[in-house]
Structure 1
Amino acid sequence: MTKSLTSRQFSIGLTLLAILPPIGIAWFIYLSRWQWLTLFRQPRAIRHDHVLLFILWLIGITSVNLLRAPWRQPAALSGLLLIVLLNLWLLCRQSAQLLSWPQICHYLVCFGGYLTVSGNIFHWLNHWQLLPLWLKFLTGDLLWGYRANADRLFGSADNPNDACCLLLIALAVVLVQMSLRPSSSTWRSRGVIALLMLGIYQTQSRTGLLLMLLMVLGTSFYLNWRRSLWLTGLIGSISWFVLAWLPRSYSWATGWTSRLTIWHDSLQVFAKAPWLGVSYFGFAPQYLNLTGHYVPHAHDIFIMVLASFGLLGGLGLISLIVANGWRLTRHWKSTLPDRRYFALILAVVLAYGVSDFVLSSPQVLMIVLLVMAHYWYVQQAIAVNVDP
């Protein structure tokens, strides 16, 4: 039952999520199996939880899709996935009372460092000795995506873009820590930043490099705006020379064209069922039928929600973002744990989500749920004016 959950159980799951992803994901699903009972014990708490309301809203849309002949089977699978998501959210919400936010920040940074180190070790091992597929699967070193991406770093995340998003989250934590305590900045923290930036560069994600640059410059301006003006000018003056050395610079135009094509075709899938969508697992088959090419998702969080759950789902997502964004700005100067962590991390996830639907990765999804759960817990503490 939910009361049996301990901090040790959740900590074990987080460790497995980083080192042995499939086992870690299975462990969390196992721990969350009875969490849905919370809804019957505390029904009044539902209206105070925007994430829970959003998930229930998507379940309702998917349930209606079960009545529509073309999408019954994918809708049924999507419904099961959403129920698992519901349980995982309730599990993360409960874990916010067991693990402190500094503990989570420490984990996120260690996770990012592990992605960089393990990615380079796996890359070396794969050149030296071909590892068995079962071991690559357990360690997350099995590429989930196009074979052309095999030379990009992804560590234990199975995909370079997913690894990049996790690395950006870790970098956001370190940069916020530095901005909150400038005097405590040491060579160690700078070394961690350098390690995370190296990992982001090695993922060869164009979006990741842009977000990394914006985050570093933004933090630099916050700490010392005069010095940052010189730094920005220097970067701007050499940008044309640096572009040639950036990862995959030869294919930037091709990559942008490919994204535009996927977004356009995904909107065509959305147009087939504009109100309720084609369900999450119905997207890929419908895209294949429409274009003759297989694409697992829309490579954009907003378009993916529209295609999967229609305008009703899109309105639910916008409502979730607006409601939590309003709360974030309203309580920005609260004496409770600083909002800058949540603001920067969630902004990174949304910004990266414009070019790729990284929430399709259970690893990224679990981390985002964990961050959102702690944000929800802080908001509840603000509501009752009690320090968590």
Structure 2
Amino acid sequence: MTARLCAWLRSGCPAVASPWGWCLFQLGLLLLPSTVLLASLLFVPALVLGSLRREGPYWCDRWNWPLLAAGGLMLLSCFSAVRADLAWAGLANWLPFFWGFWGFQPYVAEAGARRRAALWLVAGTVPVVVTGLGQLWLGWQGPWQALGGLVIWFMAPGGEPQGRLSGLFDYANIAAAWLALVWPLMLAALVQPGLDRRYRGVVLMLAAALVTALVLTDSRNGWGALVLAVPLVLGPVSWPWLLPLLVLALIPVLLAVLPGVPALLQDPARGLVPESVWSRLSDSRYAGERALASTRLSQWGVALQLIAERPWLGWGAAAFSVLYPLRTGKWHGHSHNLPLELAVSHGVPATVALVGLVLGLLIVALRCSRVGLFDRAWWAAVLVLVVLHGTDMPFFDSRLNIAGWILLAGLRSRIRETETAAVSPS
């Protein structure tokens, strides 16, 4: 049985990847949403194996140059940081993943491997969905322990915040970010051609459970990701009929939440759209409860002031959490926008290098010809993460950080496939 399992795991290994590294990589993806510790114990040797016997060293790939530049600037910023201890510790959120971006590429070097990696992420998300629904509907709560305490699942009773699904994550918005990341991959698994009817039924149930869990996170970003991913995954062929349907479905929502809409239109729309949806989208449930310093607009405004004061090397990692209370009297751990957070911590040049890399990968990968279903879903998952980081910072959760860099590695590999095909003899 073990031999058959190993043989199955080794199947589909990309030509440029180590077979043993490929096995470790797949198992790491399966465990990643549930236990980052065990997943990391698999990913690290996979990364080592993925870094050996490469065509060239790290610095020979031009897509790594922005990472080298940003890494150097981040190191320099530590010497002038407002809190040196936090600044040096904060490098762990970045520098190891710059290596991961390169080291993971052999395992997502082919379309078949990326499809399989996507399905492993989908399978690994099942415990997130099940525990999240159990948390809200059955009253499940942690901590649950396994392997002598090596794996601990903390689950807040009734969700965190109360009434919002958080499951295996610390906060509902982080759970929503993970589910939103996986949603395009789940949708591709559901609509892929040639799938046996019984298997499609199983995937349909999993997809319905994931959508339910994502809705129950009460995350506006998560709800938006549900809509955004559908036309991207189904592709341009579906747009003539899908986009009009989406517009028709969204019109009542917009009428219900936009300020200034006449009551003659807004009242019927609010009667049609569930109150839990329109009140959350319009933020009316918190009207009058939040001080200005607790809003994102205030956080972004202070972040811009800090960037203007130190534009080149920033204030050091995690400086926002130190400086924001001094400026406003309110504590916030981050600025709720990744480019702003990067610029505050490490300066504008490092931010331009990293943001430019991600946007460049998205743009160039989009232009690749003959993009298949799972590559569209892969691209959509990256775009969803990028959009989420415009108003939140889910990458501070290590599981999302790892998954994000694996997705970026897949885009780089897709680009390399196209470049290789363009220069190979016909």
Give the structure with the larger helix fraction: 1
Counterpart of 2:23 (choices 4, 8, 22) is 8
- Please tell me the residue identity of whatever aligns with 2:322: P
Q: Is 2:131 aligned against 1:95? A: no
**What are the within-5 Å matches in structure 2 for residues 9-88 of structure 1?**
9-25=24-40, 27-29=42-44, 32=47, 42-43=56-57, 45-50=58-63, 52-68=64-80, 70-88=82-100
Q: How many Å separate the matches in 2 of 1:81 and 1:131?
A: 26
Q: Is 2:204 aligned against 1:190? A: yes
Please give the secondary structure, in 2, of the residue aligned with 1:342. helix
TM-score (norm 1): 0.80
TM-score (norm 2): 0.74
Between the two proteins, what is the percent identity of the paired residues? 17
Q: How many Å separate the matches in 1 of 2:109 and 2:381?
A: 20
Aligned pair in 2 of structure 1 residues 312, 154: CA closer, same or farther (>3 Å)?
same
Check conservation: 2:179, 2:214, Cα contact below 8 A: yes
Q: Is 2:418 aligned against 1:382? A: yes
Unaligned runs of 5+ in 2: 1-16, 254-268
Aligned pair in 2 of structure 1 residues 61, 115: CA closer, same or farther (>3 Å)?
same
Aligned to 2:297: 260
Q: CA deviation at 1:324?
A: 1.6
Q: How many Å separate the matches in 2 of 1:150 and 1:26?
A: 33
Check conservation: 2:73, 2:350, Cα contact below 8 A: yes
**What are the within-5 Å matches in structure 2 for residues 265-344 of structure 1?**
265-331=302-368, 333-334=369-370, 339-344=375-380
Aligned to 2:226: 212
Number of aligned residue pairs: give it: 377
Please give the secondary structure, in 1, of the residue aligned with 2:295. helix
Aligned to 2:263: none
Q: How many Å separate the matches in 1 of 2:242 and 2:79?
A: 61
Unaligned runs of 5+ in 1: none
Q: How many Å separate the matches in 2 of 1:47 and 1:184?
A: 44
- Please tell me the residue identity of whatever aligns with 2:124: F
Counterpart of 2:276 (choices 245, 251, 257) is 245
Q: CA deviation at 1:373?
A: 1.5
CA distances 1:169-203 after superposition (whole Å, capped 9, x unpaired): 22212334566649989544433332221011111
Rg larger in structure: 2
Check conservation: 1:277, 1:307, Cα contact below 8 A: yes
Aligned pair in 2 of structure 1 residues 229, 20: CA closer, same or farther (>3 Å)?
same
Q: How many Å separate the matches in 2 of 1:360 and 1:258?
A: 20
Q: CA deviation at 1:205?
A: 0.2
Aligned CA RMSD, in angstroms, stands at 3.8
Counterpart of 2:397 (choices 361, 369, 379) is 361
